[in-house]
């Protein structure tokens, strides 16, 4: 069967490109597509990197803010606890500690006298003390050692201080100073804690 012949509408038998028409080769089109893909890929990568950097910056800022709030919370809690404990310790230092020192003065004096008395049993023990503590100290030393005593009352001495002489040996018991040092240390601690709490 023979093929039908189709009618040709071209007037010019040789095809030439029209003056307004651009002819592109397939290779140039592929290169343009590849360049557009690379440019889009790079733009997407840059956007993702910028978003990640922004997220990390925001996370760091949030973490720093939370740590700072936590630090302030800890300092506030510490200051609150110290403020609550301060009156109790003040009372202990001003009332309980001096009373405890008075009660332990006589045993402390005895502790100092015993080693001194071992060598010099025939000589009297000379004690210089405040008149308020004389009964407790005198009774304990007489009861424990049986040594003769020469007690000199000195009202200017604090109640927690006793000077002991036996022969050529001398000793001193000074619970007043220890009590004062402990009181100063406790008060100093709270004054320093108060200053550091207000500083930040």
Convert the pLDDT of each residue in 146-160 to its tens digit.
777 788 898 998 888
Give the number of C-alpha atoms closer than 13 A to the C-alpha of residue 79, restricted to the C-beta side: 16
**Taking a C-beta distance cutoff of 8 angstroms, is the pair 167, 116 a contact?**
yes
Q: Calculate the CA dihedral of residues 137, 105, 154, 165 and round it to 10 degrees.
A: 70
Helix (H, G, I), strand (E, B) or coil at 8: coil
Q: What is the pLDDT of residues 58-97, one digit of tens each?
A: 888 888 888 887 777 777 777 778 788 788 778 777 777 7
pLDDT of 200 reads 45
CATH no., domain 61-199: 3.30.2320
Residue-by-residue DSSP string for 135-195:
HHHHHHHHHHH---EEEEE-TTS-TTEEEEEETTEEEEEEHHHHHHHHHHHHHHHHHHHHH
**How far apart are the C-alpha atoms of 34 and 20, rounded to whole Å?**
26
pLDDT of 64 reads 86
Question: Can you list the residues of the chain whose pLDDT is less than 50?
Answer: 200
Residue boundaries of the structural domains of the chain = 61-199
């Amino acid at each position: 069967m023979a093929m039908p012949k189709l009618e040709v509408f071209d007037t010019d038998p040789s095809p030439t490109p029209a003056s307004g028409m651009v002819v592109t080769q397939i290779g140039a089109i592929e290169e343009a597509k590849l360049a557009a893909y690379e440019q889009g890929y790079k733009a997407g990568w840059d956007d993702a990197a910028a978003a990640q950097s922004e997220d990390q910056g925001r996370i760091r800022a949030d973490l720093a803010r939370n740590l700072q709030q936590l630090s302030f919370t800890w300092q506030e809690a510490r200051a609150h606890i110290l403020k609550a404990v301060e009156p109790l310790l003040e009372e202990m230092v001003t009332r309980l500690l001096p009373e405890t020192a008075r009660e332990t003065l006589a045993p402390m004096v005895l502790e100092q006298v015993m080693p001194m008395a071992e060598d010099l049993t025939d000589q009297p023990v000379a004690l210089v003390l405040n008149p308020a503590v004389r009964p407790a100290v005198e009774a304990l030393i007489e009861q424990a050692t049986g040594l003769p005593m020469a007690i000199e009352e000195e009202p200017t001495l604090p109640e927690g201080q006793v000077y002991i002489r036996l022969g050529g040996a001398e000793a001193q018991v000074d619970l007043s100073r220890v009590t004062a040092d402990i009181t100063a240390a406790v008060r100093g601690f709270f004054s320093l804690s108060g200053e550091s709490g207000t500083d930040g």
